[in-house]
């Protein structure tokens, strides 16, 4: 049984999970040592656990991955290589993990983000804007005298990324020891989203020590995807593009038959859901019961940078609502189309209602969405 005093403490913690024991003591007019005893009892009774006093019955997603500043160049006309191009330059928050997290929040789901942030101007901006967007940033690794991750990209006249430089050394600090400290946070999440910006050893630790959890993997790039090639079967859901699927499966993909072979490879390894992004040609999805391809409806592309991150957020939302794999794919495609329609990496109008609206307008909607 929980006592009346413990109920009071739990209520205060629910309102502010990062409240200190001294603040609890001052609020309730008792000693700090008494608070410590009550906290211990609440932990034994499994109402709370760990740093930050995580509430056990809280529903949330944990995202582990990249958080950075995006600096993007947009040419006014056709992009000319080896020359100066008149255009616009925009700075915004980015990073695969962070982008997925913000999109998930916009779909009405609580998110706790685990990433690495420096103590520079960019780090302050990341922390402030992520917190304002509704992402729980209290579990990040904050590093002194370390530059925050920065991603510099140039887009062409079609809105597709032409070239980019990524300065992401900070993520090497997301070690096994640091992730181990977050075990309770991970074990009690509804699912865990991982991107391959993490060190290979950390990815392997997550795959082997949290195999009972649903791990959703964003492969990020062909080079980074290779980190998980040897243990790809530990992930519940994967979302590679065609090139990433090729390097992970060892199968050259030139046809729908090849897509089927690649998906069967992943399913045989232990993956439960596969979504292979084919760009403008659509998405090929597969599980043990069903495989199919959904073409992407024709749409205007303003900025393609955040489409994959919105796709993953859509998948997660539809999966949590226990939709079929086909409905997950359709909702995810509609999510990516909504992302494509705005120059910002994260469309400020991204919401569940607007995704459903897009799905209906593009004839992606099924009765179950």
Within a domain: residue 305?
Answer: yes
**What does the alpha-carbon distance between residue 357 and residue 159 come to, in Å, rounded to a whole number?**
23
How many domains does the chain contain in total?
A: 2
Within a domain: residue 67?
Answer: yes
Same domain? 271 vs 161: yes
Strand 48-49 with 149-155, pairing: unpaired
pLDDT given for residue 123 in this prediction: 94
pLDDT given for residue 52 in this prediction: 60
Residue ending a domain, choose from 38, 55, 72: 55
pLDDT given for residue 55 in this prediction: 55
Same domain? 87 vs 180: yes
Same domain? 43 vs 86: no
pLDDT given for residue 246 in this prediction: 98
pLDDT given for residue 369 in this prediction: 59
Domain that holds residue 271: 61-361
* pLDDT, one tens digit for every residue, the chain (369 residues): 678 888 888 878 877 777 878 888 889 999 887 887 888 777 776 677 655 655 555 799 999 999 999 898 999 999 999 999 999 998 889 999 999 999 999 999 999 999 999 999 999 999 999 999 999 998 999 999 999 999 899 999 988 889 999 899 999 999 999 999 899 889 999 999 999 999 999 999 999 999 899 999 999 999 999 999 999 999 999 999 999 999 999 999 999 999 999 999 999 999 999 999 998 899 999 999 999 999 988 888 887 778 999 999 999 999 999 999 999 999 999 999 999 988 888 999 999 999 999 998 888 765 555
Same domain? 35 vs 103: no
Same domain? 197 vs 325: yes
Rama region for 95: left / alpha / beta (φ>0; ψ in -120 to 50; rest):
left
pLDDT given for residue 300 in this prediction: 82
Same domain? 176 vs 284: yes
Within a domain: residue 197?
Answer: yes
pLDDT given for residue 65 in this prediction: 97
Same domain? 153 vs 187: yes
User: pLDDT averaged over the chain?
Assistant: 91
Contact 106, 350 (CB under 8 A): yes
Within a domain: residue 221?
Answer: yes
pLDDT given for residue 161 in this prediction: 87
Within a domain: residue 366?
Answer: no
Return the CATH number at 8: 1.10.10.10
Residue ending a domain, choose from 55, 75, 92: 55
pLDDT given for residue 14 in this prediction: 73
pLDDT given for residue 51 in this prediction: 53
String of DSSP letters for 321-349:
TT--HHHHHHHHHHHHHHHHTSSSSS-TT
Within a domain: residue 187?
Answer: yes
Same domain? 266 vs 281: yes
pLDDT given for residue 21 in this prediction: 83
**What does the alpha-carbon distance between residue 242 and residue 308 come to, in Å, rounded to a whole number?**
13
Phi, psi of 166 (to 5 degrees): -115, 120
Return the CATH number at 324: 3.40.1190.20
Same domain? 155 vs 27: no
pLDDT given for residue 366 in this prediction: 55
- CA–CA–CA angle 275, 280, 285 (5° rounding): 15
Within a domain: residue 299?
Answer: yes
Rama region for 337: left / alpha / beta (φ>0; ψ in -120 to 50; rest):
alpha
pLDDT given for residue 368 in this prediction: 57
Same domain? 15 vs 71: no
Same domain? 286 vs 260: yes
Within a domain: residue 277?
Answer: yes
Instruction: Give all strands of the β-sheet with 291-294 in edge-to-edge order.
Output: 111-114, 61-64, 192-195, 215-218, 237-238, 273-277, 283-286, 291-294
Same domain? 212 vs 350: yes
Contact 284, 278 (CB under 8 A): yes
**What does the alpha-carbon distance between residue 346 and residue 229 come to, in Å, rounded to a whole number?**
29
């Amino acid at each position: 049984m929980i006592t009346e005093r413990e109920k009071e403490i739990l209520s205060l913690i629910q309102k502010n999970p990062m409240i200190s024991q001294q603040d609890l003591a001052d609020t309730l007019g008792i000693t700090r040592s008494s608070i410590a005893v009550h906290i211990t009892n609440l932990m034994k009774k499994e109402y709370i656990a760990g740093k930050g006093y995580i509430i056990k019955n809280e529903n949330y997603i944990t995202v582990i991955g990249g958080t950075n500043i995006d600096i993007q160049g947009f040419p006014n006309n056709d992009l000319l290589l080896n020359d100066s191009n008149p255009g616009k330059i925009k700075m915004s928050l980015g990073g695969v993990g962070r982008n997925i997290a913000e999109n998930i929040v916009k779909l009405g789901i609580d998110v706790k983000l685990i990433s690495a942030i420096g103590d520079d101007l960019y780090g302050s901006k990341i922390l402030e804007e992520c917190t304002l967007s509704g992402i729980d940033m209290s579990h990040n690794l904050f590093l002194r005298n370390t530059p925050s991750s920065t991603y510099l990209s140039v887009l062409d006249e079609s809105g597709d990324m032409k070239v980019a430089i990524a300065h992401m050394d900070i993520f090497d600090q997301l070690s096994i020891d640091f992730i181990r400290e977050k075990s309770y946070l991970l074990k009690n999440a509804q699912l865990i989203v991982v991107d391959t910006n993490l060190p290979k050893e950390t990815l392997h630790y997550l795959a082997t020590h949290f195999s009972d959890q649903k791990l959703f993997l964003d492969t990020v790039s062909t080079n980074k995807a290779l980190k998980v090639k040897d243990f790809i079967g530990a992930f519940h859901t994967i979302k590679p593009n065609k090139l990433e699927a090729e390097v992970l499966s060892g199968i050259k993909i030139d046809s729908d038959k090849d897509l089927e072979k690649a998906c069967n490879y992943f399913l045989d390894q232990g993956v439960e859901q596969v979504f292979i992004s084919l760009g403008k040609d659509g998405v090929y999805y597969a599980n043990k019961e069903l495989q199919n391809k959904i073409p992407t409806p024709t749409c205007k592309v303003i900025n393609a940078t955040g489409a994959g991150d919105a796709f993953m957020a859509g998948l997660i939302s539809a999966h949590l609502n226990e939709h079929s794999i086909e409905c997950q794919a359709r909702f995810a495609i509609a999510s990516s189309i909504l992302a494509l329609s705005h120059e910002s990496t994260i469309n400020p109008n991204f919401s569940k209602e607007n995704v459903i609206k897009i799905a209906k307008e593009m004839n992606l909607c099924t009765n179950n969405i």
